[in-house]
Structure 1
Amino acid sequence: MISEMVLVHTDDAVLPGDLVLPTAARAVVLFAHGSGSSRHSPRNRMVAGELRTAGFGTLLLDLLSEREERHDALTAEHRFDIPFLGRRLVAAIDWLGAQRDTHGLPVVLFGASTGAAAALVAAAERPDRVLTVVSRGGRPDLAGDALQHVSCPVLLMVGGQDEHVLELNQEAARLLRAPHSLHVIPGATHLFEEPGALEEVAETARQWCEEQLRSVREAAREQK
């Protein structure tokens, strides 16, 4: 297993991340956290741990530099700038494609809150590299026109008690042209703090990602 802190260089910043690759990883899951969170999010780290036990690599990445984080805490300038965050994710996808240990691995984008919108924007920009997008309590509606340009399958997970966000996800799902599924977790609120809620997020994400890998393998066999 590889476990290391990495630095992802973009055009205008250096972003710290935590990369973990199990032996013979089948894909790498790139996490995009929401506003006010970071790569240290306990919820994302819990889901990442569960996905690694199933053979997925994970990269938990800060989308803002330390300086930008401090500025954003005062001004909230970056946290809802979805095109900006999407470009950062595109840079991270390209970085994974250039690394010896990850260049051949499909990329899963896992977004929470505003990070889900950024993930959809990045998926539209890199259709050949992104296997699927998974959203946890996300704001896919903020992806705007990019929703109609996403070609990979999309999983939207929302808490049943997170009524406003559920409505926004339903509206976004109607705009998606790609295959998609809306999974509602009964009784869960926005942060999935209820007993068993986050475990269901992790298990549903695992099953979904494995289905997408299986579909890719089957399509490759049919082309032979």
Structure 2
Amino acid sequence: MADTETIRPAAPPIDINVEPMNLPGELALPAPGRGLVVFAHGSGSSRLSPRNRQVAEELRRAGFGTLLFDLLLSGEMANRENVFDINLLSERLVDTTHWVRTHSGLGDTPIGFFGASTGAAAALVAETRLPGAVRAVVSRGGRPDLAGIALEQVRAPTLLIVGGEDVEVLPLNQRALDALTCEKKMEIVPGATHLFEEKGALERVTDLAKGWFETHLVTR
């Protein structure tokens, strides 16, 4: 399932140049000592995912920078194969991470990934292709299992957040957790389904993600 609603932009729009195209995004710079969280949306979604945007808003209030961007152009999203092409999505995430370091003036600012659905797998694979660059990964209702053998190579501390009633995805996250060899944790949100639409569920996701990034994405 995908986030399909949209809400208004909350950060300055940018064009991320990943040859031969520009990916639309919104970048909010972090406060001093805080890292940047790059969002990787899920299948069939975009930078306008209302759930990711709600999480991003709360992270900005805590001083973190956020980057929401489209992993695929609208024409590419029409092809369902692209939506589940983890290699393609992870390449876009890697290229975007390089771009933002080079063009935003962030330099060595700590970077974290927040992935949802297939975006979680893309985030984990991208972490293995960016040695030492990514300090933390958080998955919301993700499909980390789709990262395959890359799970064993992930080094950044990884938090998997799953709804207690997400009966299909929960066991897949457990298998992924078992395969990870880095610092890792799985948090189950009781009563929540895949999109965390239940009262208080997304707020719990936000609190968990913020705590993880506070631990791993702050320069002390």
> How far, CA to CA, are the matches of 1:30 and 1:186 in structure 2?
26
1:3 shift after superposition: 3.8
Distance 2:156 2:31 in 1: 26
Tell me which of 87, 94, 97 is aligned to 2:91: 87
Partner residue, 1:17:
25
Q: Per-residue deviation at 1:20?
A: 1.2
Q: Return the alpha-carbon distance in structure 2 between the equivalents of residues 198 and 115 of structure 1.
A: 17
Shift of residue 179 of structure 1?
0.7
Specify the alignment match of 2:4 in structure 1.
none
Report the AA paired with residue 63 of structure 1: L
CA distance in 2, matches of 1:79, 1:173: 23
The residue number in structure 2 matching 1:155 is 159
Query: Which has the higher Rg, Structure 1 or Structure 2?
Result: 1
Using the TM superposition, name which of 23-32 and 145-154 deviates more: 23-32
State the Cα RMSD in Å: 1.5
Residues 1:6 and 1:25: Cα distance change in structure 2 (over 3 Å): farther
The residue type equivalent to 1:171 in the other structure is R
2:62 to 32, 48, 54: 54
Query: More relative contact order in 1 or in 2 (CA 8 Å, sep 6+)?
Result: 2
Runs of 4 or more off by more than 6 Å in structure 1? none
1:107 corresponds, among 88, 111, 129, to 111
Paired residue type of 2:165: Q
Deviations 1:108-167 (A, max 9, x none): 100000000000000011122101110000000000111011111000000000011010
Contact 2:111/2:217 (CA < 8 Å) preserved in 1?
A: no
Instruction: Give the Cα separation in 2 of the matches to 1:33 and 1:87.
Output: 14
Q: Residue 37 of structure 2 aligns with which residue?
A: 29
Change (3 A) 1:177 1:13: same
Contact 1:28-1:56 within 8 A present in 2 as well: yes
- Asked if structure 2 preserves the Cα contact closer than 8 Å seen for 1:127 and 1:150, the reply is no
Greater per-residue helix proportion:
1
Paired letter, 2:127 = A
User: TM-score scaled by structure 2?
Assistant: 0.91
Gaps of 5+ in 1: 218-224
* 1: CA distance, partners of 2:157 / 2:58: 21
Q: What displacement does 1:85 show? A: 0.3
Q: What is the correspondence of 1:180-219 to structure 2 with a 5 Å cutoff? A: 180-213=184-217, 217=220
Query: How far does residue 12 in structure 1 lie from its aligned partner after superposition?
Result: 3.3
Shift of the alpha carbon at 1:101? Answer: 3.0
Query: What is the match of residue 5 of structure 2?
Result: none
Say which is worse superposed, 25-34 or 159-168, in terms of deviation. Answer: 25-34
Separation in 1, partners of 2:202, 2:116: 12
Q: Which one-letter code corresponds to 1:140 in the other structure?
A: P
Select 2:146's aligned residue among 133, 142, 146: 142
> Match for 1:118: what amino acid?
A
**Partner amino acid, structure 2, of 1:180:** K
Q: Structure 1 residues 6 and 117 mapped into 2: Cα distance closer, same or farther (>3 Å)?
A: same
Deviations 1:164-208 (A, max 9, x none): 101000000111011100000000000000000000000110011
Amino acid at match of 2:179: L
Give the deviation of 1:25 after TM superposition.
5.9
Distance in 2 between residues matched to 1:22 and 1:139, nearest whole Å: 28
Once the 2 structures are TM-superposed, how far is the Cα of residue 213 of structure 1 from its aligned partner? 3.4
5+ residue gaps in structure 2?
A: 1-9
Query: Which residue number in structure 2 is paired with residue 6 of structure 1?
Result: 14
Note if 1:117 corresponds to 2:121. yes
Q: Does 1:66 align with 2:74?
A: yes
Q: How many percent identity over aligned positions?
A: 53
